[in-house]
A and B are shown apart, each in its own frame.
Chain A
Amino acid sequence: MQTERYITRSSRIRGYSIYLNSKLIYGKSPTAPGDFLNQAYQDFHINYPKFHKMDNMSKLGLLASEILLKDQLYKTRYQPYEMGVLLMNASASLDTDIKYYKTVSEIPSPALFVYTLPNIVIGEICIRNNFKGENAFFVFKQFDATFMAQYVTNLFENNDLEACLCGWVELLEENFEAMMLLVEKSGSSDAMAFSKENINKIYGEENG
């Protein structure tokens, strides 16, 4: 028996532009990644002071999830343990590893050290939204829609989850991009089926 699954929302941050459900909603000219993320935080009125304490990768992941989950409807629809998070990237937490290492010669920074693991971004998203379901972080050489589709499908087939936030959150020094999808068991008539092809479509859309 095949359970139905849909991509009910998507967010994409790439090239200093932000897309919601494939529509361009925000754009800035290139600056330092940290400045762009802070500016977007303000412009989207996120109001979560802990944001400023995060490393750039967590900021990027949190921003993508905030934009994705803006209407908050899932909070009435699902129990905390029914919501899972699966994220992937290529550079793990290297960006913060480097920054942390620079502090080691004087006084190592505890606030930086806690971000030297890639899955902390999942923790931050879970804390913000009170998600308690299955969560995993995979490191791949490049974006892998096949794996994403397989893994998340699996979680649904095992009845582990009712909804899943999955995506790609990659940041290393000046380069960054994120894609996040909300996958649910039912969707409106215009919702896309959750498939490898559609994931690739959302991921690659802005490439032209």
Chain B
Amino acid sequence: MADLKKQIIAQLNLKDLKPEDIGDDQPLFVEGLGLDSIDALELIVLLQQEYHIKLSNADDGPKAFKSVRTMAEYITTHQGQKTPK
């Protein structure tokens, strides 16, 4: 999950944050990290680029991206045979 946090910070230009500032269960959107809809789309790009997972419905995003933990779980379930880059 630490790697995933680093990737999130890089993808979303969260320059003021360090990986340890993001809690495993901290909400990513609104009241938590305060991410918005464009960030959600960028997280979808991240999944595609780093994990070859394609999320075709934007509405699935908020469910998968509730926290770093749900995101990691989503990646593990959907990754299948493909290995990350």
How many residues of A are counted as interface, with CB atoms below 8 angstroms from the partner's CB atoms?
10
User: With A and B bound together, what is the CA distance between A53 and B35 in angstroms?
Assistant: 11
Please state if A53 and B12 are interface contacts (CB–CB under 8 Å).
yes
Among B23-31, B38-46, B62-70, B71-79, the one that faces the other chain is B38-46
The CA of A106 and the CA of B41, in the complex, are separated in Å by 15
Whether, in the assembled complex, A208 has its beta carbon less than 8 Å from a beta carbon of chain B, the answer is: no
Say yes or no: A110 contacts B13, CB within 8 Å. no
Q: How far apart sit A114 and B39, CA to CA, in the bound complex (Å)?
A: 11
Q: Within the complex, which residue of B16, B17, B45 is in contact with A110, where a contact is CB–CB below 8 Å?
A: B45
Does B82 have its Cβ within 8 Å of any Cβ on chain A? no
Q: Chain A: interface secondary structure?
A: helix
B41 to A: closest C-beta gap in Å: 4
Name 29 interchain pairs, CB-CB below 8 A, sorted by A: A38-B15, A49-B14, A49-B15, A49-B16, A49-B17, A52-B13, A52-B14, A52-B16, A53-B12, A53-B13, A53-B38, A53-B39, A106-B49, A107-B45, A107-B48, A107-B49, A109-B42, A109-B45, A110-B38, A110-B41, A110-B42, A110-B45, A111-B12, A111-B13, A111-B38, A111-B39, A111-B41, A111-B42, A114-B38
- Which A positions have Cβ atoms within 8 angstroms of B? 38, 49, 52-53, 106-107, 109-111, 114
Which residues of chain B are within 8 angstroms of A109 by Cβ–Cβ distance? 42, 45
Count A-B pairs with CB separation below 8 Å: 30
How far is the CB of A77 from the nearest CB of chain B, in Å? 29
Size class of the contact patch on chain B: 10 to 19
Minimum C-beta distance from B59 to chain A (A) = 15
What is the chain B residue whose CB lies nearest that of A115?
B38
Q: How far is the CA of A181 from the CA of B73 in the complex (A)?
A: 51
A106: nearest residue on chain B (CB-CB)? B49
From A49, which residue of chain B is reached at the shortest CB distance? B16
A33 to B45 CA separation, bound complex (whole angstroms): 26
Closest 9 CB pairs of A and B: A110-B41, A52-B15, A52-B13, A53-B13, A49-B16, A111-B42, A107-B45, A111-B38, A110-B38
A110 to B16, CA, bound (A): 21
Least CB distance from A39 to B in Å reads 12
In the bound complex, CA of A74 to CA of B61 (Å): 39
Q: Report the separation of the CA atoms of residues A107 and B16 in the bound assembly, to the nearest whole angstrom.
A: 26
Kindly list chain B residues whose C-beta atoms are within 8 Å of the C-beta of A114.
38
